[in-house]
Amino acid sequence: MVSIVIAALFVIVITLIYIYLKRAYSPSPDDLPGVKPHIVFGNLLNSGILTGKLSFHQVFLDYQRRFGDKFQFWFGSHRCFVFCGVEHAQIIFADRHTFEQAPLSFPNFDLLCPNAIVMLTGAKWKRHIRVLLPMLKRAKIIGHLETIVQCADRFIDQNLHPGQVHRDLVSSCQSFTMNVIGFIGFDHDFDAHINSPIKKAFRDFIFYSVSILLSPWLPRWLGKIYLKYNWKYQHAYRLIHELSEKLVEEEQNKESEMENKRPKNLIASLVSSLNEQANDDQVSSGLTHAEIFDEVLIMILAGYETTSTALSWFIFFASKNPQVQQKMKEELRKHHLLMTDDLKYVPELTSENLTSLTYCECVTKEVLRLAPVAGFSVRIATCDTIVDAVKIHRGQTVFIALNNINTDARYWHHADPRQFVPERFLGEDENHHSLAMIPFGGGHRACIGQELAWLELKTIIVRMMQRGITFEDTSENTGGYEDHLSCLPKKLAVRVRFD
């Protein structure tokens, strides 16, 4: 009798779960066109994203071609609206009171880094931004140009060898950007060569981060168990936590020796803000110890992943377009900035001569425009609203398809916007729509590290050309896309030649 009751209860529970899921995934009157979702996986599986067949930006480009500028995409069990026009971006980014950073920007990332600025909203976000932003403004960043140049020289000397086919440049680029953030953000040499322990720790941390991000259907308790008993993740987290504690302790020792000094870098600003009583009321300021750890983690992580991806794409695009490398060197020669023929002197890079390099600037812009480093930006509606006749309810998630806009022929006229053509910024597209190129997102939640990313990328590009490096194409250099926290070139294999 008991077994019959248990069996009946089991059937009832399964039936109720099926009915709930069926209703949750059933069409709604407010739906936009899109692909029918799978239960639990949504469109992540049938689009090819989960299997690695396609990247997010490829799927969004395909959906735009099939359904137009407004379509529906199911991120697991979350019904999301995707917008692909500059007029949509303008409305969503401008209305900071209606559209706020969405949890789906980094789904379940709070299991890994709950106090990082990318996860915060409202008063808590404002409290964190007051500490972080002053150190990441252009006026502060430009003062670190010499350090970035030194890191660029280290990258060239350690990783670029003439005559060899390089297949590990994505990892080498990550080492470069990690070293930059180490020096200018934390006054610390991470010595992040390819096989360094801290580099491996961040690589493992990112791997498990992506696993969590692409599993939005998992119950949170299951994600917690997965991370708690995953010894590789725990080992990586422990190494990163020890590094963070070391950075904070070293800075606290410096502070005790030099009272009343103004913060000179990010770690100094974080430590000077330490306030264990900090909360989200209107008068509280500063960050707690736990919050500082998460901010250290996310800043190193951002430096490790995003700019390095753009640099990897530059190397790929340059190898496919040797005439672009030649034109950059011609511009450097015109400004007397090329290495001397006897290889004994490389002219100094200053903010003034960097600014004077117009074509090099166009190349940097074209990399950021075309490379799908970030395929989309995500917002959540804080109240019911309407965007381009689409009803959006409070709590609903919207995606702004950044790469779709960056490569849309309606906004780019000089040449095919899917092609790498830096000259577009010297011609018809020089005065493009301000939102036709938004690699760092927009509005009040745009990337706060964009000034550093821009300076890093242009500096390393110019420095490599200064030193006479040429990237040559190979049969293995097929590109493709691989989604991590950002979208990397899947197969990058170039031969390096020194002029």
pLDDT for 424 equals 95
Residue 433's H or E segment, with its range, is none
Mean pLDDT of the chain: 87
pLDDT for 257 equals 64
The CB density around residue 148, as the number of other CB atoms within 10 Å, is 26
- 285: pLDDT confidence band, cut at 50, 70 and 90? confident
Pairing state between β 377-381 and 99-101: antiparallel
pLDDT for 471 equals 96
Range 236-250 average pLDDT: 88
pLDDT at residue 7 is higher than 70: no
pLDDT at residue 9 is higher than 90: no
Phi and psi angles of residue 439, each rounded to the nearest 5 degrees, phi first? -65, -20
For residue 482, give every residue at least 6 positions away whose Cβ sits within 8 Å of its Cβ, in sequence order, or none. 52, 55, 488, 489, 490
Contact criterion met (CB below 8 Å) for 413 and 425: no
Range 447-452 average pLDDT: 89
Both structure tokens of 231: 């010894």
CB neighbour burial string for 291-321, b if at least 16 within 10 angstroms, e if fewer: bbbbbbbbbbbbbbbbbbbbbbbbbbbbbeb
Contact criterion met (CB below 8 Å) for 178 and 304: yes
User: Any binding-site annotation on 447?
Assistant: yes
The percentage of the chain sitting over the pLDDT mark of 70, rounded to a whole number, equals: 90
pLDDT for 22 equals 47
- 66: pLDDT confidence band, cut at 50, 70 and 90? very high
* Extended strands (E) in 426-493: 469-472, 479-483, 487-491
Phi and psi angles of residue 487, each rounded to the nearest 5 degrees, phi first? -100, 110
The alpha helices in 160-288, defined as continuous H runs, are 169-186, 197-213, 220-228, 231-257, 266-272
pLDDT for 20 equals 44
Nearest to residue 184, comparing CAs of 137, 135, 255, 138?
Answer: 135
Both structure tokens of 470: 């040429």
pLDDT in tens, 375-385: 889 999 999 99
pLDDT at residue 303 is higher than 80: no
pLDDT for 215 equals 78
User: Quick check: helix, strand or coil at residue 73?
Assistant: strand
pLDDT for 1 equals 65
Range 444-457 average pLDDT: 90
Contact criterion met (CB below 8 Å) for 387 and 88: yes
The more confidently predicted of residues 442 and 218 is: 442
pLDDT for 259 equals 62
pLDDT for 283 equals 63
The alpha helices in 122-196, defined as continuous H runs, are 122-132, 138-141, 145-159, 169-186
Both structure tokens of 19: 């009915």
Range 178-195 average pLDDT: 81
pLDDT for 189 equals 84
Tell me, yes or no, if the pTM score tops 0.85.
yes
pLDDT in tens, 137-155: 888 899 999 999 999 999 9
Domain 2-498 has CATH 1.10.630.10: yes
For 9, 15, 335, 474, the CA distances from 4, given in Å and listed in that order, are: 9, 16, 87, 68
Q: For the chain, which residues make up each domain, given as ranges?
A: 2-498
Distance CA 50, CA 56 (A): 10
- 343: pLDDT confidence band, cut at 50, 70 and 90? low
Q: Which of 104-108, 241-245, 314-318 has the highest mean pLDDT?
A: 314-318
**Amino acid (one-letter) located at 289:** H
pLDDT for 333 equals 94
